[in-house]
């Protein structure tokens, strides 16, 4: 029975790849994207603090597919964005004052076993990591919205990774957001990064870090409901983090307003 299930699963995945080739890719950062997205947790920040390259890892939001990957998975915040990396850590704990950390047991707790041992400790996983978007320092997010890629060349980018077509893997799937991305794609500058000089393999992510060409800024959201940020729902909040400072913004009457008290 188990072998039949495995055979059926493999067959299903092969059919998926053959029949849905144009919508089966998993997109990481593509060179025309306006931002680099990641999820930050305490564990991520601990590794960032110890890493001399100050590397962050991309997180895509589309449903995982089984027919390959495209894009670049890492970005380095060393050199002129070193202070940004430091401020991201400060901003994370600032948000945690109002958005408490949520944990779940990562695996079966040894404390629940009949024979308990002092050597084994229960492992926990952070389940409400914060969504972070890296943008060019001059990106006007109050006007241009958040979580819109504005990438008009995404199909050409996918072709470099062996795909004839594929999914856009948008963060906001409403018609308004898609039209905005299409209409302004030629006018919004992509994230300015130096791509690593490595060969691209078909259907595989490039795991060598990209390097920013200039100072960046980060937008760290209090919530992962990207649609509500796009719609500017009242009460949505974020921190704008630069190499110099951290600013708190919130939505009121469909406008982003700076919290002057912080």
pLDDT at 5: 34
- How far apart are the C-alpha atoms of 225 and 229, rounded to whole Å? 7
The mean pLDDT value of the chain amounts to: 88
- How far apart are the C-alpha atoms of 123 and 144, rounded to whole Å? 41
Q: What is the CA radius of gyration of the chain?
A: 20
Percent of the chain with pLDDT over 70: 85
200: nearest Cα among 26, 89, 75, 71: 71
Tell me: the pLDDT tens digits for 116-150?
556 667 788 999 999 999 999 999 999 999 999 99
Tell me: the pLDDT tens digits for 193-245?
999 999 999 999 999 999 999 999 999 999 999 999 999 999 999 999 999 99
pTM of the model: 0.87
236: nearest Cα among 219, 215, 213: 219
Mean pLDDT of 49-76: 93
pLDDT at 123: 83
| Pair 231, 204: CB distance under 8 Å | no
The confidence band for 20, taking pLDDT boundaries of 50, 70 and 90, is very low
pLDDT at 83 over 80: yes
pLDDT at 113 over 60: no
């Amino acid at each position: 029975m188990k072998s039949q299930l495995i055979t059926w699963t493999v067959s299903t995945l092969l059919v998926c790849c053959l029949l849905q080739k144009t919508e089966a890719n998993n997109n990481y950062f593509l060179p025309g994207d306006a931002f680099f997205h990641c999820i930050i947790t305490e564990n991520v920040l601990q590794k960032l603090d110890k890493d001399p390259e100050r590397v962050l890892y991309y997180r895509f939001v589309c449903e995982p597919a089984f027919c390959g990957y495209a894009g670049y998975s890492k970005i380095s915040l060393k050199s002129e964005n070193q202070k940004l990396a430091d401020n991201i850590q400060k901003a994370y704990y600032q948000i945690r004052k109002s958005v408490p950390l949520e944990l779940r047991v990562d695996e079966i707790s040894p404390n629940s076993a009949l024979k308990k041992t002092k050597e084994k400790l229960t492992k926990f996983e952070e389940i409400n990591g914060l969504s972070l978007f890296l943008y060019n320092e001059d990106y006007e997010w109050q006007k241009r919205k958040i979580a819109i890629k504005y990438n008009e060349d995404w199909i050409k980018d996918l072709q470099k990774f062996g795909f004839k077509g594929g999914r856009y893997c948008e963060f906001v799937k409403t018609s308004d957001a898609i039209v905005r991305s299409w209409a302004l794609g030629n006018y919004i500058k992509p994230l300015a990064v130096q791509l690593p000089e490595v060969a691209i393999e078909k259907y595989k992510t490039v795991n060598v870090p990209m390097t920013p060409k200039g100072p960046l800024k980060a937008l760290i959201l209090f919530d992962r409901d990207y649609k509500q940020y796009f719609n500017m729902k009242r009460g949505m909040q974020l921190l704008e983090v630069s190499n110099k400072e951290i600013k708190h913004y919130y939505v009121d009457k469909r406008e982003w307003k700076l919290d002057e008290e912080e």
